[in-house]
Structure 1
Amino acid sequence: MTHWFRSYWDEADIWFYFEVDESGWVVRQVELQGPDGVPVVAASLEEWQHAQAAGRVNHYEATYGGTAERPVQEWDEHFPHTLTRAQFEAVWEQARRALESGA
């Protein structure tokens, strides 16, 4: 079952927003940095895999970043705040628009 949540990393002042599958793997990830919540990542694992297969992973990562490389359960000091799908989608859409426009 897919679930959505966010988690704050105070050392870098980043909010992480995650869509996670039933095994704990990140399917989509958004990172908003600083007090203004500037999008720095809005990556999809499926898109990244397609970009890698097409030899365009560097371009993809330069635009959208990447997703976490370990299941969420393996993270230390991870304190998730549950989100609804609609809440995640709103953040996802806003971050994607910002990264695509180069803002």
Structure 2
Amino acid sequence: MTRWFRSYWAEEDTWFYFEADAGGWVTRQVELQGPLQKPITAASLAEWEGAQQAGTLAEYEATFGATAEVAVHEWDGHEAQDLTAGEFETVWRTARAICQARARARSPREA
């Protein structure tokens, strides 16, 4: 069963939004940092694995970051706040668009 939730880490002033599978592994992750909640990560495990296989991992991580590498039940000290799928999707879509726009601004495509 898929689960959506968020947790706040005060020491980093960051909200972490997660989609996790039945085993607790993060399948998608968004990180919003600071008082303006600037997206710094909007990563998909499936996309990350595909980029790794394609040899484009550096580009993927520069644009979207990466997901957590341990199952969520192994984390200490996080207080999960459940989300609906719709709430997660709204944050996901917004963060992805900002990460993509930032990547385009860093390396403009040649005409």
When the two structures are aligned, how many residues end up with a matched partner? 103
Moved over 4 A (4+): none
Partner of 1:17: 17
Rg comparison, structure with higher value = 2
Shift of 1:89: 0.1
Separation of aligned partners in 2, 1:61 and 1:101 = 14
Separation of aligned partners in 2, 1:101 and 1:63 = 9
Separation of aligned partners in 2, 1:76 and 1:3 = 18
Percent of pairs identical after alignment? 58
Separation of aligned partners in 1, 2:57 and 2:75 = 25
Partner of 2:6: 6
Separation of aligned partners in 2, 1:82 and 1:35 = 21
**1:47-74 Cα deviation digits (max 9, x unpaired):** 0000000000010000000000000000
Q: TM-score, normalised by structure 2?
A: 0.92
Q: TM-score, normalised by structure 1?
A: 0.99
Gaps of 5+ in 2: 106-111
Partner of 2:44: 44
Gaps of 5+ in 1: none
